[in-house]
Structure 1
Amino acid sequence: MAVNPPRPSLPSLNGLRAFESAARLGGFKQAAAELNVSAGAVAQHVKALEGWCGGALFVRHAQGVSLSSLGQQVLPEFIAAFDGISAASQRLRSLAAPNSLNIATLPSVAQLLLAEWLPDLRVALPEARISVTAMETPPNLSREPFDLSIFFGAAAEDKGAILLAGPDHLVPVCAPTLAQGVSDFHELMALPHISDQFWPDDWARWAQAAFPDQNYSGTGPSYSLYSVAVREAVNGGGVLMGHQTLVAPLLARGDLVPVLPVKVPLELNLILWRNPVLAQSGLLDQLIAQIRELAMRG
């Protein structure tokens, strides 16, 4: 009679992924956001993994969780393992569909800049299929399936970073007709002030730097999408505290004009990051070169 006892099974991939994410990011809630599941699901997966290995991977306390000694010892190997899986998966994607190029960027950049650039990109790269995903925070390009990302950052010194524009400046802008007759701070304060909820302190920051002896008292509507705020400014609904990098095409066309010629510099640059784990791609190189050229035009 053949002897064929049941063999020990490995833990579930979901459990391993939940542990690695929670350990790397510092908590179950952070892992839940990255993995697109609930914090309770992460906790259950980790508990099952602890049951399988017979040891505690986290220390639970009122403020959350922290890695146990066991968790600290094995975390580097799990990070390396999932980095390897992600890199292999992304190379597979890029080799199987080399003409599909995916860009992640801020909603404002997608709507105000990339929307302007896409017609030129289609002409320059007719074989490319370019997709754009708008998100508020930069993706982890080593783990997420994007070929490149475009976001604001303080510098462009890290690996894979390419400076597109900067430094950015704050400048109040509005429709040409609304700007007529505005020559000083008090006349500017009398107009509706349009603000963006992503950068809620822009008006106060500009006023403090440009007119430090004045008290800022402007009021007006606020929008969760910067592109909506820009469109309302173009429509004559008020004065927008413009980010020069984003409103440059509208300023060039005359759809918007500076209200007062006072710009306040920011420690923000528009930066492109290339995925560090993808296979070499001439088409991606061409896309990046075209984006850099379009960004330089302003």
Structure 2
Amino acid sequence: MGNEVERRYWLARGFEHQTGIYRVLEWVADGYCAMDWREAPEIPVGLSPEAARDLVRAEQPGWSESKVYRVTRAVQSFVDRMSEGDVVVAAKAPYDVHVGVVAGPAYYVETRDRAFARRRAVNWLTVEGDEPYPGLPEEVRAHLKARPTLTLLPAGAAAYFGRYADAAPAAPTPAPAQDPYRRLCRAIKADEAATRLRTVERPATVERYRDPRAVEAVLERCGGRCENPDCGGMPQDTTVRGEPLLEVDHIDDHASGGRDHPKRMIALCPNCHAMKTRGARAEVLRERFRKVARKAHKRRLAGEG
């Protein structure tokens, strides 16, 4: 990580205007930050500003020169100026503010409609919404209203958010490459685009395909215990064969499009599963389990537990 003099502080938007979706929670869950401007092409690292503007003009011949300049500068700030050790502040009223430290170089992902395709790995330091936007000092909030997609924060706001990076512990040792949970998640993600629309024929019905590796990963992660922190049953009960008495559940209904991935799934004992599916507090539990699964997934990838 860079020292205090070298470190830059970036304000990053995470709001997708085309859909009205705030994407920062996905950034935090998956450990990255992103730059949108999907209308612009991929701009390689180290390209000269003139050559970068030529790429943008070729992609968007109807844009004015001022817009070409503005977009190219924003993208190249993200690709070339942002550095490992810099601080990223993701903020938009009224959502919670998230603060992280850049942990890797820029890379490009072919996403749907090229949405937020430019990315950098980030070690997020405020995962649980520790910094509510309305609670910020007024002078800090004033610096978070800049219109650009990516902009440098002035000294006052930088000092306020820099305390998170200054107090951050050393990055955890990465889990070994052969770690089964990491291996399964990597394989599932690589195949997800192909399996998302896959179906399986059953007698008299057709249903969405379920990746058995996702179930295997969640059972490996949970260590034989119900992942509901408030489980009131016997979380270590077993079957007659000594296997955990657990059911792996999609937190968002799989039949309605819920993601078939471990960070959106949870291992529950039969009673907790029934409460989440049919209980009076089903929606409350669903929302809580989303957070539980994200945290468990992140801890497991970090080699904890």
TM range (shorter): under 0.3
What is the TM-score of this pair, normalised by structure 2?
0.23
* Larger-Rg structure: 1
Higher helix share: 1
What TM-score do you get using the length of structure 1 for normalisation?
A: 0.24
